[in-house]
Amino acid sequence: MKSIPSMIVLLIAGSTASCSPRIVIPMPGQMGTPIAQQSTQTSDQKEAERMTRSLASLMVPPKSYYTAIIKKPTGKNGLEEYLKCVDAVRASDAGKYTTAISDVQYNERAASINKMPVPEWAVGKSPAELRHEQTKRFEKLLDLITKGNQKPVEDPLLPTMTSPEHAALEFPMYGGFKSITKLAVNVADAHISDGDTKDATSRLIDQLRFSHKVRELGILADLVGIAMDAIVCREIENHLVDFKGEDWDRFTAFARLDLKSAPPLKRGLELEAPGHLKYISESEGLADEASPKSADESEQMKGIDQLARDLHGLSEKDRKRTIKEAVGYAQARFNSAEVSLTRPEAEWPWPENKGAPPPSPLIGELTSDVIPNPDEFQAEAKSRIVMRLLIVHGLIQKYRISHGHLPSTLKDLNSPADIEDPLLGGNFKYEPTGATYRLYSPGKGVMYPIELTMKPELYPKIRSQLEHKS
């Protein structure tokens, strides 16, 4: 079942919709023409009208995300500084070429850049020169992130998480956060090229702290924060041998502290469960807006319309009983998920284990977009494995600095607890090849191996391995 807000998410978020929030069923007023009115509209016409109404407010971005989201500033919410930084990056041309000037993407984007209005400071610059120019002009903006990191964060939009208006602000906000992370990585890269790994390390740790603060804002925010982590980890992996021993001490200290804290997904479930349960309890109103089945009913709306018709077909007594059972089932699944996150990662719900089935297909439909998704646990576990791998990379690099060569095996690091893979038991996989190496976890079940960053050149080999696994 897809709700109206989640369909809007699909339209405004593109590929991000694969990790769309569990926005629940549409509430009264969001559905099509009720059966009682016997409308002659086709379902596609109704859908178009609904989309037009819902998207009308999404077309024009606010002048300031800070003023649009923070209605009552307190000075105590780190999100305030984060949004000021988003606005500052938007107001300048700091973020315009942030992605384009990375070495990986520069060549394929250079042609399109030449067709765009280029600020004077960027004309004729190489990627390295552009990063240095960005650093000189815009690094100061990142101090807002440092300041925000020193405070707790909370999302004032959370009470409206099922509305189109929330999606209209939330997705661009998260896009702004990712642009800030890319800017910070370019700044760190410029410092590294100048031999200043201390400041580079400070910026990268600041961004890891930023992404982990963002992950405290909710379930979707957790997934966005994981993506921000990946941007930072790619930069770290690109410069493994450039960082000094003291830099690695700081990276590993951050990772160890992070692993001691509760997984952000647990907080996301705690924050969002009440709102999702409330909307299930109010879904009885869907029955009054059920539409007659139509031959041209679109695939996108079929699940919602069918759910409304199923509820409409129940007696009032059975409808209330079904809604109550659905709330109870969803609550039990939330409780179970939160408890599981206090255990080791290997014991978390996994895609192969869907958990207790719903008491009935109708209850399954009512709760399908609400109950915790095993894929979210898999993403969370992967992010924690990445932090563990960061620690091991630090140990390997410190060994290299001390001994002048890489360790032959991970056992040479004399840190058995750090090299253990909590998903599968045993140690992480370590494959040294001359002066380089590969460090990874094979992953659990049908999933890609976990590294600091994914290697596209390994995809064909990995797919073959996964097919063999399954």
Report residue 377's pLDDT band, with 50, 70 and 90 as the boundaries.
very high
Residue 196 pLDDT > 70: yes
Q: CA–CA separation, 222 vs 224, rounded Å?
A: 5
Closest by CA to 173, choosing from 241, 101, 87, is 87
Residue 253 pLDDT > 50: yes
Residues 6+ apart with CB under 8 A from 151: 76, 77, 78, 81
Q: What is the pTM of this model?
A: 0.80
Question: Which pLDDT score, from 0 to 100, does residue 452 have?
Answer: 86
Query: What one-letter code names the amino acid at 226?
Result: I
Residue 284 pLDDT > 50: yes
Residue 318, classed as helix, strand or coil, is helix
Q: CA–CA separation, 391 vs 249, rounded Å?
A: 9
Question: Which pLDDT score, from 0 to 100, does residue 112 have?
Answer: 52
Instruction: List pLDDT tens digits, range 32-46.
Output: 433 334 344 444 455
Question: Which pLDDT score, from 0 to 100, does residue 60 have?
Answer: 66
Which tokens is 235 given? 């930069």
Question: Which pLDDT score, from 0 to 100, does residue 119 have?
Answer: 66
Cα-flanking dihedrals φ and ψ of residue 440, to 5°?
-165, 165
Summary mean pLDDT of the chain = 79
Question: Which pLDDT score, from 0 to 100, does residue 8 have?
Answer: 33
Report residue 303's pLDDT band, with 50, 70 and 90 as the boundaries.
low
Cα-flanking dihedrals φ and ψ of residue 282, to 5°?
-95, 5
Residue 101 pLDDT > 70: no
Instruction: List pLDDT tens digits, range 413-440.
Output: 999 999 999 998 899 999 999 889 999 9
Which tokens is 114 given? 């030449």
DSSP 241: T
Which tokens is 346 given? 């290997």
Question: Considering the chain, what percentage of its residues have pLDDT values greater than 70?
Answer: 71
> 1 or 98: which carries more pLDDT confidence?
98
Question: Which pLDDT score, from 0 to 100, does residue 263 have?
Answer: 95
Instruction: List pLDDT tens digits, range 207-250.
Output: 999 999 999 998 989 999 999 999 999 999 999 999 999 999 99
Which tokens is 301 given? 């709306």
C-beta separation of 75 from 352 below 8 A: no
Question: Which pLDDT score, from 0 to 100, does residue 35 have?
Answer: 38
Residue 300 pLDDT > 60: no
C-alpha distance across the termini of the chain, in Å: 27
Which tokens is 37 given? 């009115």
Exposure of 260 by Cβ count < 10 A (0-12 exposed, 13-18 middle, 19+ buried)?
exposed
Widest pairwise Cα distance in the chain: 81
Instruction: List pLDDT tens digits, range 60-70.
Output: 678 899 999 99
Q: CA–CA separation, 120 vs 117, rounded Å?
A: 9
Residues 6+ apart with CB under 8 A from 392: 410, 413, 418, 419, 428, 439
For the ranges 113-117, 427-431, 446-450, the maximum mean pLDDT occurs at 427-431
Question: Considering the chain, what percentage of its residues have pLDDT values greater than 90?
Answer: 46
C-beta separation of 89 from 180 below 8 A: yes
> 302 or 58: which carries more pLDDT confidence?
302
Domain ranges of the chain: 4-61+275-376
Question: Which pLDDT score, from 0 to 100, does residue 248 have?
Answer: 98
Residue 12 pLDDT > 50: no
Question: Which pLDDT score, from 0 to 100, does residue 22 have?
Answer: 41
